[in-house]
Amino acid sequence: MANNGPYAQKAEGVYGGNAGKDNIMDMHKYIDEHRDAMVSDLKTLLRIPSVEGEPQPGAPFGSEVRRALDTALEMCRKLGLHAVNVDGYAGYAEIPGCTGEQIGVLTHLDVVPCGKGWSYPPFDAYEKNGVVWARGVCDDKGPLVASVYALAAYAQSGAQPKKNIRLIFGCNEESGWGCIDYYSAHVGLPEVGFSPDADYPIINTEKGIYQCTLSRDINCGSYEVSIHGGDRPNVVAPEAKAVIKGNTDKLAFALLEYDCHSNGISYTVQKDTVTITSKGVPAHASTPQEGKNAVWPLLELISRLPMDGELPAAAKEIYEKLCRTTDGSGIGLALCDEVSGALTDNLGIIELENGRLSLTVDIRFPVTFSDKTVREGLLSAFPGYALSEGHVQQPHHTPKEHYLVQALSRVYERRTGQEAHCIAIGGGTYARALKTGVAFGVNRPGAPEYAHNTDERMSMDELMEDVHMFADVYKELAD
């Protein structure tokens, strides 16, 4: 139950609460009239490279994330909402003076690293034919701005809500959820709410998340080897590189024999050093089959190199267990259930430096299984490796009969004319932080998934539709 404590707003009159019918501005007209302002505010946020950085005083997730939080809260205040900074960890906004049961709308301001190969600079917020290209426009700054303008429109309509719609802005959703943990401990989370950080119609089931690092020492024999691939466990690695120093003549035939071109591999040889670079296609770890993991062909090639030491055999083992499929079958975890579907695995990061090899994996497991099952499966698949747990979240499910799901269904069907069925995903949204929560929007059914990908982009016409949708949802839930 939410408990605002020192972060509670001072009592004020409900925004527009005394307005007569003649003075009430239709909220949908308000939204249409504020399109240009909304797009401008969105671009301002998108130009802030809010990838998590080094902690600083008042900025636990880095200065750029803090700058994004400050910018979002100022946007809320400009639109007449009450906005609060929760010690740089998170923020929230709501209609001034609004009381009653809270309904949470949870979004986030941090973004994943950009990678390479963008058509336009990822933090320029370039717009072409009504489409904005930028890191974070889908995940999750676009939906965040839509949720804010929808609440401003609802407030301007003269609404006298019986429930309090609270917009909660997280700051490290992509890398640990410390923001939500802090908010929960110091403010208190609502029991009910939704997160527009995935797909339409309604995601009422989210698989469990298990991230960990497996590590061991590797004897590379007469060679000196370093490997680096991937940046985040929840992203399919877009690039991987190996630097091998030693007798390169001995490796020449295996390098020539491997089909480098088809596998996105290139290499250079300079005296006693071979540098191998692998290029892939990023994707979200919940749908690893939609990307191309750059680590996979790199390990396959290394496993074929005639080097002494343990590395070729270790590379072959990892390749066989984590790089031939993404369904867990290689590690004995081909788990599946009717509610949420099959397990997925992603080898997100690989590091070899000074003889220490580490593998960071991201596994999304079905709701009827436990993280203990996943841990035991990994330890069994990789004997001799030490396992260090990282981000772990239990599965989440909200019954489709709940009033939240029913309200979202009614609004979705009215606005789209399509059936609002419930679906399960491998992704993890803030919805699972709530006792009763779902993900609602904003990716359309059947549309390409741009989140976490190169050339992330969003149609501003579709974002406007989201604003109208959210305003209707607020009215449906709070009136």
The answer to whether 173 and 112 are in contact (CB under 8 A) is: no
Q: Name the active-site residue from 52, 64, 110, 345.
A: 110
**Pairing outcome for strands 90-94 and 82-86:** antiparallel
- CA angle, residues 65, 1, 186, in degrees to nearest 5: 40
110 is catalytic: yes
Report the 10 Å Cβ neighbour count for 422.
17
CA distance 3 to 6: 9
Which of 150, 278, 192, 173 minimizes the C-alpha distance to 232?
173
Which one-letter amino acid corresponds to residue 67? R
Which one-letter amino acid corresponds to residue 394? Q
**Pairing outcome for strands 436-439 and 192-195:** parallel
Provide the CB-side half-sphere exposure for 188 (13 A, CA): 13
Q: Name the active-site residue from 140, 173, 197, 456.
A: 173
CA distance 40 to 90: 23
Which of 302, 159, 155 minimizes the C-alpha distance to 227?
302
**Dihedral Cα 441, 446, 451, 455, nearest 10 deg:** -130
401 is catalytic: no
Tokens (6 digits) for 194: 């939704």
For the annotated catalytic residues, the residue numbers are 110, 173
